[in-house]
Amino acid sequence: MSVSFSSTSLPFSESSFAFQRHPRLCSNPLTVASNNFHSVTCGGRLALNVGGTSLCRRFRGFKLWVLERLNFQFQSPKQPKNRIRIENNLENSGLSNEKGPVSDSSSILHAPDGMVTSMEYPSLLQTGLSATPMDVSGKPSLCISVIGATGELAKSKIFPALFALYYSGFLPENVGIFGYSRKDITDEDLRSIIASTLTCRVDHQENCADKLDAFLRRTYHINGGCDNKYGMSMLNARMEQIEGGSKTNRIFYLSVPQEAVLDVTACLSSSAQTQKGWNRIIFEKPFGFDALSSYRMTQYLLSNFEEKQIYRIDHLLGRNLIENLTVLRFSNLVFEPLWSRTYIDNLQVILSEDLTKHLGRYFSGYGIIRDIVHSHILQTIALLAMEPPVSLDGEDIRNEKVKVLRSIRKLEPKDVILGQYRASGGAKVDTCLNGLTPTYFAAALYIDNARWDGVPFFIKTGLGLIKHQMEIRIQFRNVPGNVYRECMGHNMDRAVNELILRDVPDEAILVRVNNKVPGLGLQLDSSELNLLYKDKYNMEVPDSYEQLLLDVIDGDNHLFMRSDELEAAWNILTPILNEIDKENISVELYEMGGRGPVGAYYLWAKHGVRWVED
């Protein structure tokens, strides 16, 4: 038997053509209708009745399914978890050529037996194929290059994340890993450098040594020397040698200092991009020093790459807490109707570090506003406050995020508290910091739109504090005309309902409710309904770099800042940065290992919000 697509026939056995139900995915369903799917006795071929619409447009999804079935013999025995939408499958398989998501709403398969069946197509990962199609000849279908391969970030985070993805089956077996640096070392030297940092999953360690050996064998080093243009040509030549002329996609991770980014990207753009697949480039924060430098960098990047190729990475946005925000909001009826100024009194985004290592030259020059607030904090607020997107496509989510950022009022000094920690040995400021570099930032933001008018969004983030904490607190308004007011005592603030999304310590979702204490009499207590992840889910949580690298491979860009988001974020913070430069805003000193500046307590009180310690 064979199936005909226009003038193309694909032969296969009848036993392989079996419709199966698959778990529901995020992609649009392909509906199987009845009574219009029939066999035509014409040389054993099976004809599909699809009406007069474009056959190519209607059956792109079905073609993909057939291609997967034909290649099923090459699948890995491990079945990675499903996480890729159909549009990304098409993109990575070369069918879409990165022209955007494919709509399959009109794709209908007509089935026999008079049955109407709703069916979802499996993703490439679900059927055992990696996100990038494998070439059974051993030539890589995906190459990943780490620029700055011998740096600390590459050794401690990037290579371990790549190996974790490879070990778990999210990278193709024949992937090519390339390290680029200025050091005169061999492939074996690089493998020795990174081998000690690579570990297998605690929850499944089968074939660990074999996987590690296979990964290292596919890792290569290129000495770029002092001339990046020549070095990138050498990188391209080595990649082409390994690729062997096959169609291969490339990812470039720039783990380099900010001052080197423009030169590296220019040389990369002209000398190292493939012409046989897509190219994507990853940048580390910060994305400029101020609005002007960021604008110039953006324009330079866009002169060498398209926006869809650029991924501005912030590892804090790869935390499960951030990934879960839109799921909680838009898939639970209990939350979404309450998500507005009508029921919510305030929202708090808290990120504190206990500072277990030296900050270094980078932080000394940029400070906490440029390093954490500009990207992580404002992106978290955008995800919390945005309107429902029209789809889960990355561009649709980014469109809603940028609307929120543009609606945030520019910060004023009266709504901001800055702090800098003291060295632990005395009153002198830590020598790694320059001048007024803030290590603590607290502020009250307001979003001027219909949903959030008048609701304060509080930010509290700092280094050298009493503990490491990362959480979001949504506090609801008091119950109007509460008949139990007299039973709650004088402190009504402690009786408000609260939704707490905690990442550190102990990832959890907590809901604070008022409850009657068992026993005689009427005594109320504020209790927590607790979903503690470590008790519910017996699994190792992937590192945030793994999540974000996998998003880049899949082409999912919703957690990466677009150029217009970048500009909107700078517009919010520029007034405060200008005041700091003019020394018109004071920086309060606080003790290392303490709770931060006292002024933050007064800021909360000024807006009528209770400070929460834990």
pLDDT tens column, 313-370: 999 999 999 999 999 999 999 999 999 999 999 999 999 987 655 555 546 667 899 9
Strand partners, 281: 252, 310
> 444 φ, ψ to 5°?
-115, 115
How does pLDDT run across 221-254, given as a tens digit for each residue?
A: 999 988 899 999 999 999 999 999 889 999 999 9
Beta bridge partners, 283, equal 254, 312
- Could you tell me the CA-to-CA distances from 181 to 73, 78, 131 in Å, in that order? 39, 34, 28
Question: pLDDT band at 433, cuts 50/70/90?
Answer: low
Block residue for tokens 């309107």: 387
pLDDT on residue 360: 53
In DSSP terms, which residues pair with 512 in a beta bridge?
A: 498, 528
Best CA proximity match to 420, nearest among 405, 393, 440: 440
Mind listing the pLDDT tens digit for each residue in 252-292? Answer: 999 998 889 999 999 999 999 999 999 999 999 889 899 99
Residue 485 has pLDDT above 80, yes or no: no
Enumerate residues 6+ apart whose C-beta is below 8 A from 295.
288, 567
Tokens 């029921």 belong to 343
What is the percent of the chain where pLDDT is above 90? Answer: 55
Q: Where are the alpha helices (DSSP H) in 319-460?
A: 320-323, 325-330, 360-368, 378-385, 394-407
pLDDT tens digits, residue range 78-116? 444 444 333 443 344 343 344 333 333 333 333 334 333
Q: Which domains does the chain have, with CATH numbers?
A: 140-283 (3.40.50.720), 318-605 (3.30.360.10)
CA distance 206 to 385: 43
pLDDT of residue 50: 41
Please give the positions annotated as active site.
376
- CB-based contacts of 545, cutoff 8 Å, min separation 6: 157, 158, 160, 161, 315, 318
CA 563/CA 224 separation, integer angstroms: 29
Between 501 and 124, the more confident residue is 501
Question: What digits encode the pLDDT tens for the residues 152-167?
Answer: 999 999 999 999 999 9
pLDDT value of residue 429:
46
Q: With H, G, I as helix, E, B as strand and everything else as coil, classify residue 247.
A: coil
Tokens of 495: 């009786």
Give residue 268's Cα distance to chain centre.
Answer: 24
On the 0-12 / 13-18 / 19+ scale of CB atoms within 10 A, 335 is middle
Residue 352, strand partner residues: 462, 469
| Token pair recorded at residue 56 | 């190519």
Q: Count the neighbouring beta carbons within 10 Å of the beta carbon of residue 125.
A: 20
Chain centroid offset of residue 57 CA = 30
CA angle 593, 431, 470 (to 5 degrees): 35
Q: If you average pLDDT over residues 118-124, what whole number do you get?
A: 35
What is the torsional sign of CA 503, 504, 506, 510? negative
More confident of the two residues 425 and 184: 184
1-17 pLDDT, tens digit each: 444 433 344 444 433 33
165-203 pLDDT per residue, tens:
999 999 999 999 999 999 999 999 999 999 999 988 766
Say whether pLDDT at 418 is over 80. yes
**By the 8 A CB rule, do 543 and 161 touch?**
yes
Q: Are 85 and 392 in contact (CB under 8 A)?
A: yes
Q: Are 551 and 557 in contact (CB under 8 A)?
A: yes
Nearest Cα residue to 478 out of 511, 515, 514: 514
- Tell me the DSSP string of 280-312: EEEEESP--SSHHHHHHHHHHHHHHS-GGGEEE
Residue 231, φ and ψ in degrees, nearest 5: -60, -40
What pLDDT is attached to residue 482? 82
Instruction: Identify residue 254 by its one-letter amino acid code.
Output: L
Give how far Cα 524 sits from Cα of 281, 497, 502, 513, Å.
Answer: 56, 13, 25, 10
- DSSP category for residue 183: S
**How much is the pLDDT for 502?**
95
Instruction: Write down the residue that tokens 């679900």 correspond to.
Output: 126
CB atoms within 10 A of CB 131: 26
* pLDDT score of 471: 95
Q: Alpha carbon of 489 to those of 281, 371, 426, 460, 515: distances in Å?
A: 58, 43, 43, 29, 14
In whole angstroms, give the CA distance from residue 5 to residue 59: 9
Within 13 A of 427's CA, how many CA atoms are on the CB side?
1
State the amino acid at position 18 in one-letter form: A
Closest CA to 348 of 125, 500, 485: 500
What is d(CA 345, CA 496) in angstroms, rounded to the nearest whole number? 10
pLDDT attached to residue 125: 32
Who wins on pLDDT, 121 or 550?
A: 550
Is the preceding omega at residue 597 within 30 degrees of 0, hence cis? no
pLDDT at 34 over 50: no
Place of tokens 């506003």: 369
Give the three-state DSSP class for 110.
strand
Q: 528 with 552: CB under 8 angstroms?
A: no
- Beta pairing, strands 117-119 & 416-421: unpaired
Give the pLDDT mean for 575-599: 91
Q: How far apart are CA 351 and CA 339, in angstroms?
A: 22
Does the pTM exceed 0.95? no
Give the separation between CA 370 and CA 111, rounded to whole angstroms: 57
Name 530's bridge partners: 510
Q: State residue 202's pLDDT score.
A: 61
